[in-house]
């Protein structure tokens, strides 16, 4: 069975071109699923529903790859899932058909590109973090308590003047935040070696 998928990014965009192309490619109008959502979202209601309906021997048709996904990684993952389930993929305007050796080769190349993209993102992130550290900036969230507040919290805790909840209430932070700032030596001493 042939299934079609069309997507527009906003409700203002017109999907008629895609729907017309899918019907010309043999997809019955009742088997065309349309999402009005950004392609950067990996979960899309109509796509998700249609993917659950696909069975071995079916073919999913789209007009262009960017209608199916904006992320190469998501696209390749989806392509691999379809292949495992023995569902074909035909991209009308780009001439990709996974029923052919050329179409499968195209998806193979896309998977290599997705891996490269992922590795470049990781490398760029590491470089950016290293450059920020070299300039004296540290990543992560800023502590909810200042060093002075943390010291006071520790003092109140060590002297057993207030409970952890009372200390948290004093500084207007959750109890878990207070625990994160406390050096609980009494707990460490009770732990067997």
Query: What is the three-state SS of 29-95?
Result: HHHEEEEECCCCCCCCHHHHHHHHHCCCCCEEEECCHHHHCCCHHHHHHHHHHHHHCCCEEEECCCC
Query: Where is pLDDT greater, at 49 or 9?
Result: 49
Q: What is the pLDDT of residue 191?
A: 40
Is residue 31 within 8 Å of 4, Cβ to Cβ?
yes
Query: What is the Cα–Cα distance from 68 to 75, expressed in whole angstroms?
Result: 7
Is residue 65 within 8 Å of 75, Cβ to Cβ?
yes
Average pLDDT, the chain: 85
Q: Name the pTM for this structure.
A: 0.57
Q: What is the pLDDT of residue 189?
A: 44
Q: Give mean pLDDT, residues 81-99.
A: 90
Return contacts of 172-180, CB within 8 angstroms, 24+ apart: 173/144, 173/145, 177/144, 177/145, 178/145, 178/153
Is residue 13 within 8 Å of 41, Cβ to Cβ?
no
The one catalytic residue in 9, 42, 71, 111 is: 9
Picking from 76-85, 107-116, 132-141, 174-183, which range would have the lowest pLDDT averaged per residue?
107-116
Is residue 108 within 8 Å of 72, Cβ to Cβ?
no
Q: What is the pLDDT of residue 40?
A: 61
Q: Is 9 designated active site?
A: yes
Q: Give mean pLDDT, residues 118-132.
A: 86
């Amino acid at each position: 069975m042939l299934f079609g998928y069309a997507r527009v990014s906003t409700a203002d965009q017109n999907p008629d071109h895609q729907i017309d192309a899918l019907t010309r490619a043999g997809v019955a109008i009742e088997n065309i699923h349309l999402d009005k959502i950004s392609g950067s979202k990996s979960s899309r209601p109509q796509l998700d529903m249609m993917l659950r309906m696909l069975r071995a021997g079916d073919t999913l048709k789209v007009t262009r790859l960017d209608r199916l996904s904006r992320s190469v990684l998501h696209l390749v993952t989806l392509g691999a899932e379809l292949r495992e389930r023995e569902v074909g993929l035909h991209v009308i305007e780009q001439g990709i058909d996974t029923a052919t050796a050329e179409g499968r080769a195209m998806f193979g190349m896309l998977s290599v590109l997705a891996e490269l993209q992922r590795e470049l993102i990781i490398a760029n992130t590491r470089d950016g973090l290293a450059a920020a550290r070299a300039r004296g900036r540290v990543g992560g969230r800023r502590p909810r308590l200042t060093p002075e507040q943390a010291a006071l919290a520790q003092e109140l805790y060590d002297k057993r003047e207030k409970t952890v909840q009372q200390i948290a209430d004093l500084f207007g932070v959750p109890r878990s935040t207070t625990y994160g700032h406390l050096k609980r030596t009494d707990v460490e001493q009770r732990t067997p070696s």
